[in-house]
Structure 1
Amino acid sequence: MGRNGVGKTTLLNTVMGVLPARSGTVVFDGRDITRMPTHRRVGLGMGYVPQGHETFPHLTVLENLRVTWEAGTTRDKSVIDEALDVFPRLTPLLKRRAGFLSGGQQQQLAIARALVTRPRLLILDEPTEGIQPSIVAEIEDAIERLHRERGLAVLLVEQYLDFATRLADRFTVLDAGVVVHEGAGAELHDERVRGLLAV
């Protein structure tokens, strides 16, 4: 967490290999992946959902899921059904082009696309941004369920404090690229944390 411009998205892009690390190391499952290309990180089990409901707008919902599955390492087509099971709202929309979905539906599709790779770590960059409250609740339920039932680890950047508080086991607050505070998720409502996040 942190104010706008403190380096949260830059950190996620560095973890995924989209940006090179200027210093330090990125370690995943005990392995130094600092110089590893992005596609190999996905192969290790990292799924990334960038900020902004990223989809292929001219492809249908099903085509969006299939293109990700085809680019992945698993040949098991059931991963598409598993992703749709997490977001059943997408099932009746399979033939609709992603560009004609609401913002919330596009976000669910973006997360479902990441799930098609069967990640062990799901990285989410502000998944609630610009989303109606009912869809935010569905996304929150889905993340909690994935963590509880599948043991999926989640690295979440989020400005919506209540959403983060309900999901986080631990939190870290950044300021100008530096960790300024961290603790258990239950401490997110602490006054010091609110002060660090205030605009």
Structure 2
Amino acid sequence: MLSVSGVDVAYGRARALSGVDLEVPAGSLVCVMGRNGVGKTTLLRTIMGALRPTAGRISFDGRDVTRVPTHRRVRAGMAYVPQGHVSFPRLTVRENLQVTLEAARRRDAAAVGEALDVFPALRGLLRRPAGFLSGGQRQQLAIARALLTRPRLLLLDEPTEGVQPSVIDEIEAAVARLHREVGLTVLLVEQYLDFAVRLADGFVVLEAGEVVHAGTADDLRDEEVRRMLAV
């Protein structure tokens, strides 16, 4: 579904990604891993069109989208949940969901119900302003908003960051359901190794903006991989 070939990205003279290759087959869950500052978020932002590569190609469903703007990638079936539990803090949970529907130019009431089925804890919080939610609840809301666009490829940037352990379990169960039961293709950036081991079909490890290792979920148990990810 997604192919990243020889992608370079630079911030001024500083190169953030160098010759990155990545394949995400339809229906798979691929995890991008690595220490802080190695280019993981830069890679997701480049795939979504928020950053333009200086070299290389990005293809989605066999179509070259390297120069396609972000909003057209969303309409083509990509959705991105960035770090930081993004929401509109003064709007209620219900209003956050409604704004997303309107921005996506959808009149799809069923999509809201389906998103709340994935995160049922949000049903009791529909009237609460998002700014008064916990970090874990805001993360669930951020993913629910992305699901309203009915994506075929979901990009998740460290969904467990700053989230309490009990909610990590709920997020893991939701992502597993979306991937295994619904068949959603997922590209996940994650530092929590055990979370990745339980969910991923395949993975790549970035170091200094380059892919230094790639493999299947079974390889994540390898000591060499764990050494690469150690802080």
Smaller-chain TM-score bracket:
over 0.9
RMSD: 0.8
Q: Which moved more, 1:152-161 or 1:187-196?
A: 187-196
Q: Measure the CA separation in 1 of the matches of 2:135 and 2:183.
A: 28
Pick aligned residue for 1:63 from 78, 95, 103: 95
Letter in 1 for 2:173: D
Question: In the comparison of the two structures, how many residue pairs are matched?
Answer: 199
- Greater strand content: 2
The amino acid across from 2:73 in the alignment is R
Distance in 2 of aligned mates of 1:143 and 1:186: 19
Corresponding residue of 1:179: 211
- Which residue pairs with 1:188 in the alignment? 220
1:111 aligns with 2:140: no
Write the distance in 1 (CA, Å) between the matches of 2:149 and 2:89: 20
C-alpha displacement of 1:21: 1.3
Match of 2:81?
A: 49
1:75 Cα offset (Å)? 2.5
Work out the CA distance in 2 between the residues paired with 1:70 and 1:64.
10
1:25 counterpart (57, 63, 66): 57
User: C-alpha distance in 2, partners of 1:23/1:175?
Assistant: 19
Paired with 2:166 and 2:106, the residues of 1 have a C-alpha distance of: 32
State the Cα distance separating 1:149 from its structure 2 match. 1.8
Cα drift, residue 22 of structure 1: 1.6
Mapping for residues 16-165 of structure 1, pairs under 5 Å: 16-165=48-197
SS at match of 2:55: coil
Find runs of 4+ consecutive structure 1 residues off by over 4 angstroms. none
- The equivalent residue for 2:25 is none
Which letter does structure 2 place at the counterpart of 1:39? Answer: H
Q: Cα offset for 1:74?
A: 3.4
Where 1:181 maps in the other structure, the secondary structure is strand
Tell me, in whole angstroms, the C-alpha distance in 1 between the residues paired with 2:36 and 2:177. 29
Instruction: Name the one with the larger helix percent.
Output: 1
Q: How far off its partner does 1:112 sit?
A: 0.2
8 Å CA contact 1:73, 1:117 repeated in 2: no
Amino acid at match of 2:106: T
Residue 67 of structure 1 aligns to which amino acid in structure 2? V
The alignment partner of 1:135 has SS state of helix
Q: 1:121 deviation in Å? A: 0.6
User: Match of 1:143, as an amino acid?
Assistant: V
User: Match of 2:148, as an amino acid?
Assistant: V
Point out the more displaced range, 175-184 or 71-80: 71-80
- SS of residue matched to 1:11: helix
Shift of 1:73: 4.2
Q: TM-score, normalised by structure 2?
A: 0.85
SS for the counterpart of 1:150 is coil
How far apart in 1 are the matches of 2:92 and 2:179? Answer: 28
